[in-house]
Amino acid sequence: MTTSDTQNPETNQTKNGYLVLASRMIFDEKLPVRFMYKTVPEHLNDTGWRLYTGYETPEYLEDDIANMATVPMEKITNLDPSLKPLLEYNAGTVWERTPDSTEWQRVYDFKIPTTSPDVEITNDLERFSVKEEDLDI
């Protein structure tokens, strides 16, 4: 079996998109990426990657429209080529590096934030019954 016949289960999923969501501190303050995770992509152009410097405060992160930038993945990897192999990994992957290190470490204990859809759960079947007069037949 050749290497082309086998796929790394860590990198063979969620391949859509070419954009990442990155902290503006990376560009405005020229700080390096030190923490990143991949969520399930939100749209076809989204890779799912979220990149941070590690200096973002909770208040900074609350205003994601002002403080996060949608950026082509290529622009990020041009700034920091060490990101390129990591950006191949699947959703659910988290990486970090400390300020005194150039090496990336895999993180297993970070809970990736998710957006919660507004869903109402009920066991009341009457709420889901369709009346004949409501149908266009």
**Residues 96-115: pLDDT tens digits?**
999 999 899 999 999 998 76
Q: Rounded to 10 degrees, what is the CA torsion of 30, 34, 40, 43?
A: 10
Q: 58 pLDDT exceeds 70? A: yes
Provide the residue ranges of all domains of the chain, joining segments of one domain with +.
1-137
Instruction: Using the structure block, give the residue that is written with the tokens 């037949």.
Output: 137
Reduced to 3 states (helix: H, G, I; strand: E, B; else coil), residue 89 is coil
Band (pLDDT 50/70/90 cuts) for residue 17 is: confident
Sequence-distant contacts of 61-67: CB under 8 A, at least 24 apart? 64/21, 66/24, 67/23, 67/24, 67/25
**Residues 92-101: pLDDT tens digits?**
999 999 999 9
What is the percentage of the chain residues whose pLDDT exceeds 70? Answer: 74
Band (pLDDT 50/70/90 cuts) for residue 84 is: very high
Q: Are 56 and 67 in contact (CB under 8 A)?
A: yes
